[in-house]
Homo-oligomer: A and B are copies of this chain.
């Protein structure tokens, strides 16, 4: 399998819920274009061309370039909330749930670093009402991490002087994986996830670390 086919496979998985096929291909093409050139330097013509379609065909599915960014950002942010929410609601101790959350969140940011960068760095280009909606989803994700940390403090598993600040730092550490992760680097997404789960437990003062 060549690199192109490999990227195609990753795209298909990432946007699996988006139908029809043309709408899905356009989202994947938009992510690539935004990541390479930035949102403002990308035209709908560029995106349509990458997807092998005409600009007119693009407008059947998305009215504006901003709608594409909004859809990408929505998918990315809801996925983030799903990952952390699942860990919060899971069985096990707070330490196990925090480690699960960090492992899964890091893995997603490593495996989908191109999408994650667009999602994180182009927020400012969203229209006001879309921005407000995405910020709402981010707040829910923050709250889900905080809930796990608070559970651990209440259970006496964690020792955390500043719960909101430490929760913010935990999420921030995971998100920044999208910036530095390289497929040809020394560590796999799983290895980074394991390392970070251990560091997260140290950050919350969990006795005995990972």
Contacts and interface: CB of A to CB of B under 8 A. Distances in A.
Interface residues of A, number: 31
User: How many chain copies?
Assistant: 2
Contact of A38 (B40, B173, B177, B187): B40
A179 B174 CA distance: 13
Contacts of A198: 161
A97 B172 CA distance: 23
Name the prevailing secondary structure of the A interface residues.
helix
A192 B169 CA distance: 10
Contacts of A196: 169
A132 to B, nearest CB: 16
20 contacts: A37-B38, A37-B40, A38-B38, A38-B40, A38-B41, A39-B41, A161-B198, A165-B192, A165-B195, A166-B195, A168-B180, A169-B196, A172-B173, A172-B179, A173-B173, A175-B179, A176-B176, A202-B205, A203-B203, A205-B209
Interface of A: 37-41, 117, 120-121, 161-162, 165-166, 168-169, 172-173, 175-177, 179-180, 187, 192, 195-196, 198-199, 202-203, 205, 209
